[in-house]
Structure 1
């Protein structure tokens, strides 16, 4: 989902006016046929935000709608196979409109990226057979946790107090949300928690691998999508054939063509378009703005899920969700202290004193 997700992790300056020279070309500012280079800054922002919200909200709605079809829940991996087939086709079509069609990134790297992509999206899709959609989205918001754990044990990193506080807020929010879900959801299963947790770990690793490959070999977005998803398609196909899961899924979907293949096409198309606008938002306005917009989109997705699909609700969902949002804010603040300057206690005290010293007429 999030399809977000997230195909390619790109490191760019956070300041809006400090774009790299290669980003300023009209060709690289083109998103699904629209040339954003000819628009004003405010119009660029409005178009990108609208694209992120519209396409990803439709993406999330269709993903939950597909799994609401009675009898479909065991076929999450087959949905991922179909999704990868569509993404590979979209990447091939997009590559035809680029001037340089050469493959720059080695096959060995693509095989690793494809494996991580399969794990991320396949496990995420399959987890919906066991979890409520809001619970899945909440878990996907907490990618920081496996990133920090991997950083400590693999790279020996040290994190400051704010980073640790962010991870703790997310952890307690996840625990609270999961406990609430287990009490009110009749079909709750801890297998879903295990699946989405493994998907998170793979998602935390894939961004670093993709970013390193893109920088080292100067590969294009369309090349990355085409080769990683086409190889991933072969991985899933072999897995389904070996586990004898291809036949039953194909028979079931052939009986519900519109509810499976039809919805899956729109589901894949909106996910593909959505990530294009996320990448454009990162390139034009920086990672801070992009994370803020995508976090708001995820919060709205959860609200719409409760609105459109009947499911039990408890106020514990709200408090645990807010705790996760606090953790996300702390993480954003930790990485952008030079941009986000929170008022200190001294600043607040000085403002109160100045206000008290002003005449009563001015204060009113």
Structure 2
């Protein structure tokens, strides 16, 4: 990946204002020319990476830095998430963990907003109310599902959120995708089914309720990215604004749910008994998640939703490996080859976005191999 310039969606170059979102969409079958990449790299659009602006760097360097940072912070995020649910008795309190997470995100957002010159809200509260609902759905259901599933199964499901992202792009934004994108979805769906079947036979933690929770979370993921992209490009909102208002309203949603459901007090009492393993780990979990969200928002802003989701999907593959290394759990080789089918789907998705660049590279590679073979044959013939 590091050898190639990642082609940019052509339509993004025609936008007067580019803004960021958690998951923004792009037409996957469009490959950009080198001219379009150069145009993007010389753009005056800010490319924030934590406290730094990397817009002066080339497109390839931007992509590599953003991808590396995404891997680093989200690997810690995933490790802390599974570690929290390893605490005996915490399983029913997934939504309470999400409440803590959202509360931390709001605090971080408020602090970050103090350093902004323009503090004006650009997206209507009505839109943020809908985005908050989707955010609560995807993160709350995802966190809760960890208490009912093998963590590897939860992650492999999230790897396949490319499927609802594609479907959401078609239904929400009227996009069209080619046969390679459709094939990628088929591979991911097949791999997901086989992985789930394997998990159901070997894992004592397999639970149909958990499958339903993570499936709903993935569907919400597919919708939120496309809604965010469309909204943010329309209003030109910043990362900080999107995170602050989405999670602040989402915090209220979760609180309103927990109080009448009777889950708030038991969760609070349980966490009081284990403050380090709950609140302490949750803060680390939230810090890495908040930084990761902002980096992904930047990825979305520059490269589009499907590219951002592809990066986070590859990160999840590494998370699965680390999960098996650090936490004892049942294993079967069906995990490997069903996971490889999912990776094939990811590869097809990447190829769909990079057809021109990849075809040119492989064409040059084959040409060089042919030239070497010919020169070697001619040399041996002259010796004879």
TM-score between both structures, scaled by the size of structure 2: 0.82
CA drift of 1:166 comes to 1.1
- Alpha-carbon displacement from aligned partner over 1:76-104 (angstroms, at most 9, x marks no partner): 00001111101111111111111110111
Change (3 A) 1:41 1:198: closer
Match of 2:227 in 1: 209
Name the SS of the counterpart of 1:314 in structure 2.
coil
- The 2-side partners of 1:353 and 1:47 are apart by 35
Distance 1:200 1:177 in 2: 16
> Which residue is 1:329 aligned to?
347
Q: Tell me, in whole angstroms, the C-alpha distance in 2 between the residues paired with 1:86 and 1:116.
A: 18
Which residue number corresponds to residue 294 of structure 1?
312
Q: What is the CA RMSD across the aligned residues, in angstroms? A: 3.2
Q: Is the contact between residue 36 and residue 44 of structure 1 (CA under 8 Å) also seen in structure 2?
A: yes
Kindly report which structure 2 residues correspond to 1:264-283, keeping only aligned pairs within 5 A, or say none. 264-281=282-299
Residue-pair matches, total: 355
Specify the alignment match of 1:178 in structure 2.
196
3-state DSSP of counterpart to 2:183 = helix
Match of 1:24?
Answer: 44
Q: What per-residue deviation string (whole Å, max 9, x for no partner) do you get for residues 184-215 of structure 1?
A: 11121111111111001111011111112112
State the alpha-carbon separation in 2 of the partners of residues 139 and 299 from structure 1: 11
Equivalent residue for 1:227?
Answer: 245
Counterpart among 95, 107, 121 of residue 139 in structure 2 = 121
Residues 1:139 and 2:157 aligned together: yes
Aligned to 1:8: 22
Find the aligned partners of 2:177 and 2:302 in 1 and give their Cα distance.
29
TM-score by length of 1: 0.86
Offset at 1:36?
A: 3.0
After superposition, what is the alpha-carbon deviation per residue over 1:288-335, rounded to whole angstroms, capped at 9, x for unaligned?
865554333222111100000010111111101110011112122223
Residues in 2 aligned to 1:124 and 1:143: alpha-carbon distance in whole angstroms:
12
Rate the CA distance shift 1:101–1:158 in 2: closer, same or farther, 3 A: closer
Residues 19 and 283 in structure 1, CA contact (< 8 A), matched pair in contact too: no
CA shift, 1:354, in A, is 5.7
Instruction: Kindly indicate whether the alpha-carbon contact (under 8 Å) linking 1:288 and 1:336 is maintained by their aligned counterparts in 2.
Output: no
The 5 A counterparts of 1:1-364 are 8-10=22-24, 16-19=37-40, 24=44, 28-37=46-55, 44=62, 47-149=65-167, 159-281=177-299, 290=308, 293-341=311-359, 357-360=374-377
Asked whether the equivalents of residues 16 and 285 of structure 1 are also in contact (C-alpha less than 8 Å), the reply is no
Q: Aligned with 2:204: secondary structure?
A: coil
Q: Mark the runs of 5 or more structure 1 residues left unpaired by the alignment.
A: 1-5
Show structure 2 runs of 5+ residues with no match.
1-19
- What do the CA deviations read for 1:171-190 (whole angstroms, capped 9, x no partner)? 11001100111111112111
